[in-house]
């Protein structure tokens, strides 16, 4: 990525200032983990079974642990290392829970953790084409984050997205018993998984609402989860949609009393068990109120 500054309508190249040490890169992420990835910072330099994990995070939305590794060198196999870390986590679940409780001073129970949503993130100043292609599977629990530092304290952070046409990794892992056991337990959900829960009409309705949500702000990320599909920006999920056979359920991630709903179409679910984030729920079976609903959803979008 090339960055430029503008003075009197003339462009000047902003010079890249590379990270000298892996530790510098690590500090940037660990100090901003919630904003960047929506994760709780659990432990830096977590050692287990003679293996060192750079950063251990916890996703409070999916209730899953996330291992983060920082790499300045290009010559690593992110696939091999990623599956190695996933295996380490799944084989030592109790140790991860103990570390969380000791570091966070909380009482997380084993049944509260969704191990199927565990994942590994690699953070680097650049990745090779081979590394990017190696992780270009729609259902692989390995993420690549590219970070570059420039002069004037400017940092660019880019999560490398998979192609829409990405294939499943399961045909590859079925040939290896250890890898098969990991991909059988760790599940990366896609929008297509949620389409199976709906009908032709509700899937079409979802696409209309999805496109409307994506037009509310720049850089909104679609985050399919186990029970619903989240929409996230600036590290926070601000709305969720669940596709059902006859309707969509939409949750707006605001606390009770914080939403201005003049038409009173939302339901208060602050004291009711529900899947999505926030205290407001809407059930829709058509797009007649789409524009008004978007005005409600927009209220939950966090400011940069």
CATH number assigned to the domain comprising residue 61 = 3.40.1350.10
Q: Does pLDDT of 163 surpass 80?
A: yes
DSSP secondary structure of 178-244:
HHHHHHHHS----HHHHHTTS-HHHHHHHHHHHHHHHTTSTT-EEEE-SSSEEEEETTEEEEEEEE-
Determine the pLDDT at residue 162: 86
- Tens digits of residue pLDDT in 174-206: 888 989 999 999 999 999 999 999 999 999 999
CA pair distance 79, 135, nearest whole angstrom? 7
Please indicate, yes or no, whether residues 120 and 142 belong to a single structural domain of this protein.
Answer: yes
pTM: 0.85
Question: How many H helices and E strands in the chain?
Answer: 10, 14
Q: Structural domain of residue 95, as residue ranges?
A: 4-185
Here the CATH number for the domain that contains residue 224 is 3.90.1150
Higher pLDDT, 65 or 170: 65
Task: Work out the pLDDT band at 1, boundaries 50, 70, 90.
Answer: low
pLDDT for residue 75: 66
Whether the per-residue pLDDT at 63 is higher than 70: the answer is yes
* Alpha-carbon gap, residue 167 to 179, rounded angstroms: 17
The Cβ of residue 192 has, within 10 Å, a number of other Cβ atoms equal to: 11
pLDDT range class, residue 43, cuts 50, 70, 90? very high
Q: How far apart are CA 136 and CA 102, in angstroms?
A: 36
* pLDDT for res 4: 87
Domain boundary among 136, 162, 185: 185
Determine the Cα–Cα distance for residues 65 and 53; give it in Å rounded to an integer.
12
178 domain residue, yes or no: yes
Q: Are residues 70 and 172 in the same domain?
A: yes
pLDDT for 94-116, tens place per residue? 999 999 999 999 999 999 999 99
Same domain, 86 and 156: yes
The predicted structure's pLDDT at residue 73: 66
Same domain? 122 vs 75 = yes
Contact 122, 143 (CB under 8 A): yes
| 164 band by pLDDT with thresholds 50, 70 and 90 | confident
Q: Is residue 303 part of a domain?
A: no
Higher confidence at residue 66 or residue 173?
Answer: 66
Average pLDDT across the chain, whole number: 93
Q: Is the dihedral of CA 59, 120, 123, 6 positive or negative?
A: negative
Mean pLDDT of 235-261: 96
pLDDT of residue 172: 86
Mean pLDDT of 233-239: 89
State pLDDT tens for residues 210-227.
999 999 999 899 999 999
Percent of the chain with pLDDT over 90: 75
Q: For position 141, what pLDDT does the model report? A: 95
Same domain, 156 and 230: no
Q: What is the pLDDT of residue 5?
A: 86
Kindly state whether residues 177 and 287 are assigned to the same domain.
Answer: no
Task: Kindly state the tokens that stand for 260.
Answer: 């201005």
Query: Which residues does residue 48 pair with via DSSP β-bridges, in sequence order?
Result: 51
Q: Total domain count for the chain?
A: 2
pLDDT in tens, 10-29: 998 889 998 888 899 999 99
pLDDT of residue 304: 65
Show the tokens assigned to 46. 């977590």
Q: What pLDDT is stored for residue 236 in this prediction?
A: 87
């Amino acid at each position: 990525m090339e960055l430029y500054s503008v003075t009197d309508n003339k462009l000047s190249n902003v010079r890249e200032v590379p990270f000298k040490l892996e530790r510098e890169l690590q500090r940037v992420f660990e100090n901003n983990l919630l904003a960047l990835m929506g994760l709780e910072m659990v432990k830096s330099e977590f050692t287990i079974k003679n293996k060192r994990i750079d950063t251990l995070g916890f996703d409070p939305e999916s209730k899953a642990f996330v291992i983060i590794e920082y790499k300045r060198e290009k010559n690593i196999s992110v696939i091999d290392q990623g599956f190695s870390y996933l295996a380490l986590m799944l084989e030592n679940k109790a140790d991860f829970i103990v570390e969380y409780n000791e570091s966070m001073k909380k009482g997380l129970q084993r049944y509260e953790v969704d191990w199927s949503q565990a994942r590994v993130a690699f953070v680097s100043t650049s990745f090779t084409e081979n590394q990017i292609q190696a992780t270009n599977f729609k259902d692989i629990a390995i993420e690549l984050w590219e970070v570059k530092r420039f002069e004037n304290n400017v940092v660019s952070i880019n999560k490398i997205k998979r192609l829409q046409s990405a294939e499943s990794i399961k045909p590859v892992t079925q040939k290896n018993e250890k890898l098969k056991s990991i991909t059988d337990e760790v599940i990366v959900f896609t929008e297509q998984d949620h389409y199976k829960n709906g009908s032709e009409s509700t899937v079409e309705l979802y696409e209309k609402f999805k496109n409307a949500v994506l037009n509310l702000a720049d850089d909104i990320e679609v985050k399919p989860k186990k029970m619903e599909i989240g929409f996230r920006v600036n590290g926070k999920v601000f709305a969720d949609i669940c596709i059902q056979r006859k309707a969509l359920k939409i949750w707006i991630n605001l606390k009770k009393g914080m939403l201005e709903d003049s038409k009173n179409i939302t339901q208060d679910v602050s004291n009711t068990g529900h899947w999505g984030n926030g205290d407001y729920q809407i059930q829709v079976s058509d797009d007649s109120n789409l524009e008004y609903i978007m005005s409600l959803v927009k209220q939950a979008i966090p400011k940069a």
